[in-house]
Amino acid sequence: MKFLSRFFVMMLAVGVAVPVQAAEDESARTKPKPTRIVNRVAAVVNGRPITSSEVRARLRPYVNELLMLYPQQGGRFNGELVKAKKAVLEELIERELVLSDFEGKGLQMPANAIEEEINRRILMHFNGKREALLENLRASGMTFSEYRDSVRKEVTVGAMRSMRYDRDIPPTPDEIQAEYQATKYDYRDMTKDSVRYQKIFIPVGGTGDPNATMEEQYQFAVELTEGIKRGEISFEDAAMQWSRDEYAQQGGQWPFRNRCDLDVQFANIVFALPKNQVSGPLASPYGFTIVCVQETKRATPPSLNSPGIKARVDDSVRRKKSEQRYREWVKRLRDKAVIRIYI
């Protein structure tokens, strides 16, 4: 039961929902003490604290996806987690460096700019589901007020950067058009993206052996995936025999589904998978999923003349032009800053 215990502990640590009966059974065996999330200081930049809840809140979506991809964890999981944690902490340190340099200038961000950025993040990272964001914050030990303040800081940093480096000659119409063509899908409503796939879902206990451990069930799903890849069994036959969902008897063939109708972590993974590649097994507390993406459709991007789009494209051009000077400035700030990291 080591695999099962480790999997449940990790899922609970990042706030992923666990089936009630399974959680109760595991609880009865181990009788864990109630978990209390402690909000420690993760780093200090020129006297400005970065809290562990901020790091957890940013890191948790990555952890959830990694747990689905690498349920046994191990070296690949740990390596990806270390990289993600380092990147998150670097972003937060850079934010505090810039805020520290500009402290006292009295810049105030309008409330609507902060709300717009929060809504954009909900759309980008949580399939447009506000409750998914709130669940992420609760599991990270961060209040919505603290999260809003964190977003305010980042929006302020963007404005400060614009004040310092975006005063060059405005982009030409040709530059605007070229940037729009290169980035127009970044401005789309991602919740309207859709995907069509074949899927095999093997629930916990669904391998036919009631005495099989979680690790043995995972290994069964791995062997089934490899058998499909080698052509020893077709995806359709495997789905009809082993899958336990509403499209199992259709050979696991699902119709197009909008991104917003999928679980957030599953959506993030399947939309990034190569076409016609059998992938998995993806793990969750409910079981294991083998999937083969057949087609994805991105939502229609807004036109350049849609409200606010031209201003965002203009800002993107200016940022790219000033990126090198901005990085040099941040390096100078870092060289003279007092930074202490505690995690």
Residues 115 and 109: their CA atoms lie apart, in Å, by 11
Model pLDDT, residue 209: 77
pLDDT band at 75 (very low <50, low <70, confident <90, very high): confident
For residues 271 and 259, the answer to whether their CB atoms sit within 8 Å is yes
> Is 305 within a domain?
no
CA distances from 152 to 45, 73, 111, 159, 275 (A): 18, 35, 9, 11, 39
> Is 95 within a domain?
yes
pLDDT over 70 (residue 3): no
Question: Average pLDDT of 167-190?
Answer: 90
Secondary structure class of 123 (helix, strand, coil): helix
pLDDT over 80 (residue 249): yes
The verdict on 210 and 276 lying in the same domain is yes
pLDDT over 70 (residue 21): no
pLDDT over 70 (residue 17): no
Question: Tens digits of per-residue pLDDT, 78-97?
Answer: 999 999 999 999 999 999 99
> Is 65 within a domain?
yes
pLDDT band at 23 (very low <50, low <70, confident <90, very high): very low
> Is 286 within a domain?
yes
Last residue of a domain, one of 162, 186, 217: 162
Last residue of a domain, one of 162, 182, 206: 162
Residue 286 sits in a domain whose CATH number is: 3.10.50.40
Model pLDDT, residue 12: 33
The verdict on 231 and 142 lying in the same domain is no
> Is 56 within a domain?
yes
Question: Average pLDDT of 281-298?
Answer: 93
* Between 283 and 110, the higher pLDDT residue: 283
* Least confident segment among 104-108, 160-164, 263-267: 104-108
Of 237, 234, 200, 240, nearest to 220 by C-alpha is 200
Question: Tens digits of per-residue pLDDT, 291-326?
Answer: 999 999 999 999 999 999 999 999 889 888 888 888
* Least confident segment among 90-99, 211-220, 250-259, 305-314: 211-220
Residues 131 and 140: their CA atoms lie apart, in Å, by 14
The verdict on 103 and 206 lying in the same domain is no
> Is 51 within a domain?
yes
Model pLDDT, residue 183: 95
* Between 116 and 18, the higher pLDDT residue: 116
Give me the chain's average pLDDT, please.
83
The verdict on 44 and 132 lying in the same domain is yes
Residue 53 sits in a domain whose CATH number is: 1.10.4030
* Between 9 and 80, the higher pLDDT residue: 80
pLDDT band at 71 (very low <50, low <70, confident <90, very high): confident
Domain residue limits at 268: 194-297
Other beta carbons within 10 angstroms of residue 54's beta carbon come to: 25
The verdict on 149 and 224 lying in the same domain is no
The verdict on 44 and 119 lying in the same domain is yes
As for how many domains the chain has, the answer is 2
* Between 282 and 64, the higher pLDDT residue: 282
The verdict on 201 and 136 lying in the same domain is no
The verdict on 153 and 47 lying in the same domain is yes
Residues 187 and 316: their CA atoms lie apart, in Å, by 12
Question: Average pLDDT of 40-65?
Answer: 89
